[in-house]
A and B are shown apart, each in its own frame.
Chain A
Amino acid sequence: MADAQEFLKDFPLLNHKINGRKVAYLDNGATTQKPEQMIQAICGYYGGCNANPHRGAYALSIKATDIYEGARKRTAEFIKAKRPQEIIFTKNATEALNLVAYSYGLHNVHAGDEIVISISEHHSNCVPWQMVAKAKGATLKYIYLEKDGNLSAEDIETKITERTKIVAVTQVSNVLGLKNDVKAIVKKAHSVGAICVVDGSQSVAHMAVDVSDLDCDFFAFSGHKMLSPMGIGVLYGKYALLDAMEPFLRGGDMIEYVEEQDSTWAEVPAKFEAGTQNVGGAAGLVAAIDYLEKIGFDRIEAIEADLLNYALPKLRELPFIELYGCDSTQDNKTGIIAFNVKDVHPHDVASILDNDGVAVRAGHHCAQPLHRYLGQNATCRASFYLYNTREDIDRWIESLKKVRGVLGYGA
């Protein structure tokens, strides 16, 4: 099997000892750790190339502009966008999705229209649509789940109708870890004249993404969940849509002419990038893309599948563990496992695992509607990435066996 040790050496934080031991970092759904190559790219930018892009006529500013626009081109190639202008840099996926809600949603959804999202959406692909629906007198409808956690095929068929203007779905659920067939959902949305917004936050670092093949209208993701720094995110949008949209934020660098009372806008993508942008972050994103492509997504998927297949039988042997989204009838489970320990609140579980140097997430994972739908107040979540090893899984499982005892319950 692919040996993740080979990659582990690239991640300084994972080689540090915290309280005398290395951390078994299983919270990659929240953010990934950063490879030395990416960290060096940021240092290289600030140490040798920093200036404000798009403004100065001097050599450094031109260099910064090249780096920034080069990152746009590289990102377009990475997700197979047709042209670099279809890549808008944002702060994160949340900002990207808000951009679509404010600049497309508020102008294209009207009273009586419908917006369709799934019950497994992260709050970032739910709350902005609540805002649009309320502001425009539209209805927000939900695609619920089959028993195995996958999106209800019947709901997809019946809830996306002639009244639907926007369909917004995640490619991979951040709690259940199930990959949705977004290509089919995009097709369904287009068949009724709606556009489709895809949240790629949990997919883009873990599998090859081809936005042209998906034919989605918008695709959003965060850099920090794919080895890059926090503060750089991406919105892909089809050029014709972006071109017709109003700006999101207004100010420097996004204008053409500014008169006393009125302004005209710069071309796409500058129209959507007001103010000085995160050029260092974009340089880091490029280094992350280079790193991922060098390894290849076939290999990354194989590593995560190995960890999943190693962990699941061990978890199923523990009678006090309840699993969510682990019985998919389709071959679409990714390296995200939501679970609970019987009688023990997820926060206590996470604290006890932390004491053994195992980092998992506990809470509602920014998916309160899904937890309510599952009848769970909260869950724990372990999520894997390319540097995780079977040893990390062993440490997690061994620590889980202690949890009930710490709280005074029998095994």
Chain B
Amino acid sequence: MALDDVYTEVLGEHSRNPDHKHKLSCATCQMKGKNPSCGDEITIELQVEGGIVKDAAFTGIGCAISQASTDIMAELIRGKSVEDARRLANKFISMIKGELVDEDELEELDEALALKNVAHMPARVKCAVLAWHTLDDALKDQK
């Protein structure tokens, strides 16, 4: 597999200049996620009102794959219902694990599709899925 199949322009753009890497003053919940073996540590902040994720942001440190994945996720889930956000998280995780490959099924992941080749890089899978697992944890108790 070629390197630029993973380190795509989309990934580079989101890791160098993330739109959603900041504190969220109106956050209603936050959740920390980490990969101790890598040193990736992120905090996801969400503003959830009436069952809708109104806003999402993150802070923390990590590799380009984990940072880009987190930024793309924040963009994707803004305005989505809690239920939809969790469904997308699980869909993304299935894609990275290589369990879900149907392009029609994956289409709604939008920019996050740019990370799909991480599925072929076993050492980096956990970098890509960190944010999405953290999101799922954060939304478990949200209605």
List residues of chain A with CB under 8 Å of any chain B CB: 343-348, 351-352, 354-355, 362-364, 371, 377-378, 406-409
Contact = CB atoms under 8 A, between A and B. Distances in A.
Given A406-B3, A406-B7, A407-B12, A363 B37 contact: yes
Main secondary structure of the interface of B (DSSP, over half): helix
Interface of B: 3-4, 6-7, 9, 12-13, 15-16, 37-39, 61-65, 67, 121, 123-124, 127
Contact of A409 (B16, B62, B124): B16
B38 A348 contact: no
B61 A347 contact: no
Contacts of A352: 3, 7
A351 B124 contact: yes
B59 to A, nearest CB: 14
A208 B64 CA distance: 42
A345 B68 CA distance: 12
A226 to B, nearest CB: 24
Nearest to B2: A355
B12 A377 contact: no
B53 to A, nearest CB: 27
B7 A347 contact: no
Given A345-B62, A364-B39, A407 B16 contact: yes
Given A351-B121, A407-B15, A377 B65 contact: no
Nearest to B64: A348
B34 to A, nearest CB: 11
Contacts of A407: 7, 12, 15-16, 64
10 contacts: A344-B64, A347-B127, A348-B64, A348-B65, A354-B123, A355-B3, A363-B37, A406-B4, A407-B12, A408-B13
Contacts of B3: 351-352, 355, 406
B12 to A, nearest CB: 3
A377 B41 CA distance: 10
Given A347-B124, A352-B3, A408 B63 contact: no
Nearest to B118: A351
Contacts of B63: 345-348
Nearest to B67: A345
A115 to B, nearest CB: 24
B80 to A, nearest CB: 28
A356 to B, nearest CB: 9
B105 to A, nearest CB: 27
A347 B38 CA distance: 7
Contacts of B61: 345, 377
A347 B62 CA distance: 9
Nearest to A402: B3
A363 B121 contact: no
B68 to A, nearest CB: 10
A377 B15 contact: no
